[in-house]
Chain A
C-alpha cells in the first residue's frame, strides 16, 4: 500500500520561538524539528506499510525543513517530498491545503495520514481541508487503525467515548497520540536517511501558490495569570488547598 504522511517541521523546544509582532507570523528562524504529533502518523504508516508498500512523507515548509523530514526517513519512511517556495510563505489553512493537495495528487496514495494537530499553529484542521479538496472521506482522532479489503476501520477517540468507523480507501486519517509509541530511529536508520530520495517541489509543481485568503489583523498575548498563591507542603497542604478553594467559593 502506498501511504503518504503529511508532516510539519515546527520550531523545536529550545528555540524559544515567538510570534513576531511585525509580520504577525511565528518566527521560524530557529531550529525546526519534526512535530511530535506527526511522529505518531509516521509510526502508524510504517506499521501499515506491508512488504511491498511505500511510505512517503509530504510537507510544506522552508528549505530548512528538510532536516526534520530526515527524522521521518531515519524512522523508516522511504522518501520525502518537500514543497518549498517563497510563494507559500505565511500560507494560511487554505493555501497550505492547496500545496499539500498538489503534492498528494502527484503521489495518488491509498491512505493519507496526518497528526492530529501541530504544536505551533494548533489548528487541528488541515486534514479536513485536505480531505475536502481531495474529495475523500476523513477520520480524525484515530486511536486505532486497520486496513482490510480496500477499506479502513478506525476507532475514534471522542470526549464521550470511542466510536468505530469504516471508510473506503482512498481516505484521509488524522491519528491521535494514543495510537502508538513512535519508534526511535536506529543508528543505521539515521545513517541511511541521508541517501533516501528527498524531492523538493516548487509552487509550479503543485499547481501554483496564490494569496492567503485570511489576514491576521492583530495579535494579543494571553492575559497575565491572575494572582496565585503557592502552597508548600509542610504536611498540611491538603487542608490549605481545601481552605483556599472554599475561600474562593469554588467548593
Chain B
C-alpha cells in the first residue's frame, strides 16, 4: 500500500528570527491581497486611519492569483464597501446528475440554493478591493512574497519577504535583490488556501484544530459564449466514479458572467485514490458531455486556472486564530462553508474582525469576536451534518436528493479525519481522457499559457516534494498537477523512479501541499496572471 504521506518532502522551515538591520516597519502587516486580507486592510482604514498598513501580495497585481467560482453571499461585502463589481444576482438555478450521455435534473437541496447571491469574478473583485484599500491609506505591495514568519521570544513580529533574482541553484544572479524583514506590531495572515505562512503558524505555534485540514482541487475555465446562460448550474456524477473505493467526491459548476461569458469548473476532493485522476482532464472530459457542450456551443475559452479549497470545515479550524502578534483569517485558517461551497463572505467577515481586533490593541479578542459572529454559527450549523457533508459540497449538498436516484451508490458517511496524503494510491484502472482538440478540449501546457503564467524558468525550485518515489506515486502527482509540473523519470535499482519537476509551470494551486509535498511561494510576481477567474 502506497501512501503519499510515507514519502514526505524535505523539511521546510518557514520560521526565522529577525535579521535585517534595516527592516521595513509598519503597524499592521497583512499577508495576501485576497478577500480576507483586503477586507482587513479596508476595515483598518475605516476604524484606525492613523495605523500604517502594508498588504503583501505575491501576484504581479492584486487579483492576479485570485480564482473562485464565484457565487457570493453579498452581505458582509456590502456592509464593508457598499456596492461592488458583480455580474448581478443569481436568476435561477438547477442541479443535474450526469451519466455519460444524459443529464437528469434533480431537486436543488437547501444548501445549494442561491437566491439573493451575486455572481462575481474574484480576480476582478480583488482589483476593486485593492483600490479601496489604497484609497483608505493602506499600501498594497504586489510582486512581494512573504516567505517566513519572523518570531522573536515566542511572538510573531512580522514576516520576511522573498529574495529576487536568484539562479536555479539559489546563487544570487546579476540582478539579485534580497528580501526584507517587514516588522509589524500585528501580522494578519490572509494567505488563502494551503497558505504557506498560515501553515507555518499553525504548526509552529501549536494552533492545530481537532481534525487536520483537507482540500479539494478546482480547475476552471472562463468561456465567451454565444448563448447567454441565465442560471447557475451544478452537476454531479459523471465523469467521476461512484465506487466507494475510489473516494471521488466532487462535481462541476457553471456560472453566468453576464450575457456573453460563463465560468465553468470541476472540483474534486483530494482524498481520491486513483493514480490516474486529473481534475484538469476531468474538466476537459466534462465539456464533451452533450449537456455541457451545449452550454458552450459557439464559444471560445478565454482563461484557465486552478486552485484548492479547504474542505475540513468547522472541525479543522485552528484551535485559536490569534496568538501573540498574529491573527489568522480566511481560507488560510479554513473558513469555508463546504456544503454551500462558499468562502468569500467568510473571508471578508473574518478579515474585518481581524482588523477590528488589531485596531483594538487586544488581538486575543479576535477569537471571542469570531465565536460571537455569524461565521461561527454558520460553520457550526453545518458541522453536525458532517457525516453527510464531510465529502464536500456535491456529495453532501446533493446527497439528500441524489441518494434515491443512484440507489444509494453515492457513498456518504465517513469523515475526512485523515490527511489527504494518508489515503492510499490505487492504480491499475487508468482513465481514458479525451485528447485535446484545441477548441473544446485543451492540454495542460496550453492551459498554463491561458492562465497568463510567466514564471522565470531559471529561478530556484519552489516545490518541496520527495524526488525518489514509487512509480505509482510519481504517476499520481503527474496526473494530479493541473499545470504539468511533474514528469516520471527513470526507474532506479531500488524500484523507485526519479520525479522530474518543472517548477516554472506551477500555477500555485496548492494541491501538492494536500497530497504529500509542499508548495512554497516562488519569487514575487511569478505565477499566473488571472484577470477574470
A33-B60, A184-B177 in contact; A15/B529 too (CB < 8 A)? yes
Q: Which of B139-161 contact A (CB under 8 A)?
A: 139, 141-144, 161
B60 engages A12 (CB within 8 Å): yes
Query: Most chain-B CB neighbours within 10 Å: which of A13, A30, A194?
Result: A13
B24 engages A31 (CB within 8 Å): no
Count residues on chain B whose CB falls below 8 Å from chain A CBs: 31
Set of chain B residues within 8 Å of A12, measured between Cβ atoms: 60-61, 452, 529, 531
The count of A-to-B residue pairs whose CB atoms sit within 8 angstroms is 65
A16-B303, A184-B164 in contact; A30/B531 too (CB < 8 A)? yes
Set of chain A residues within 8 Å of B531, measured between Cβ atoms: 12, 14-16, 30-31
A184-B164, A186-B177 in contact; A16/B302 too (CB < 8 A)? yes
B161 engages A187 (CB within 8 Å): yes
B177 engages A13 (CB within 8 Å): no
Nearest CB of chain A from residue B258's CB, rounded to whole Å: 13
- Answer yes or no: A170 CB below 8 A from chain B CBs: no
- Answer yes or no: A183 CB below 8 A from chain B CBs: yes
- Answer yes or no: A182 CB below 8 A from chain B CBs: yes
A15 engages B144 (CB within 8 Å): no
Set of chain A residues within 8 Å of B179, measured between Cβ atoms: 187
- Answer yes or no: A188 CB below 8 A from chain B CBs: yes
Count residues on chain A whose CB falls below 8 Å from chain B CBs: 20
Chain A contact surface mostly: loop
Set of chain B residues within 8 Å of A185, measured between Cβ atoms: 143, 177
Closest to A32 in B: B61
> CA separation between A10 and B142, bound complex, in Å?
18
Q: Which of B297-354 contact A (CB under 8 A)?
A: 302-303
- Answer yes or no: A231 CB below 8 A from chain B CBs: no
> CA separation between A185 and B179, bound complex, in Å?
11
Nearest CB of chain B from residue A130's CB, rounded to whole Å: 28
Among B127, B144, B529, which residue has its beta carbon within 8 angstroms of that of A14? B529
Set of chain B residues within 8 Å of A13, measured between Cβ atoms: 452-454, 529
A183-B175, A191-B54 in contact; A14/B530 too (CB < 8 A)? yes
A183 engages B529 (CB within 8 Å): no
A186-B180, A187-B179 in contact; A14/B143 too (CB < 8 A)? no
Set of chain A residues within 8 Å of B529, measured between Cβ atoms: 12-15, 31
Set of chain A residues within 8 Å of B528, measured between Cβ atoms: 14
Nearest CB of chain A from residue B187's CB, rounded to whole Å: 15
A191 engages B24 (CB within 8 Å): yes
A187 engages B452 (CB within 8 Å): no
Query: Most chain-A CB neighbours within 10 Å: which of B127, B182, B531?
Result: B531
Nearest CB of chain A from residue B418's CB, rounded to whole Å: 36
- Answer yes or no: A52 CB below 8 A from chain B CBs: no
> CA separation between A30 and B528, bound complex, in Å?
15
Set of chain A residues within 8 Å of B428, measured between Cβ atoms: none
A14-B64, A15-B452, A184-B164 in contact; A191/B174 too (CB < 8 A)? no
25 A–B contacts, CB within 8 A, in A order: A12-B452, A12-B531, A13-B452, A13-B453, A14-B64, A14-B531, A15-B452, A15-B529, A31-B529, A31-B531, A181-B174, A183-B175, A184-B165, A184-B177, A185-B143, A186-B180, A187-B144, A187-B180, A187-B182, A188-B180, A190-B141, A190-B144, A191-B24, A191-B141, A194-B139
Give the interface of B toward A (CB within 8 A): 24, 54, 60-61, 64, 127, 139, 141-144, 161, 164-165, 174-175, 177, 179-180, 182, 302-303, 450-454, 528-531
Task: List 8 additional A-B contacts (Cβ < 8 Å) besides A12-B531, A13-B454.
Answer: A14-B452, A33-B60, A183-B175, A185-B177, A186-B180, A187-B141, A187-B180, A190-B141
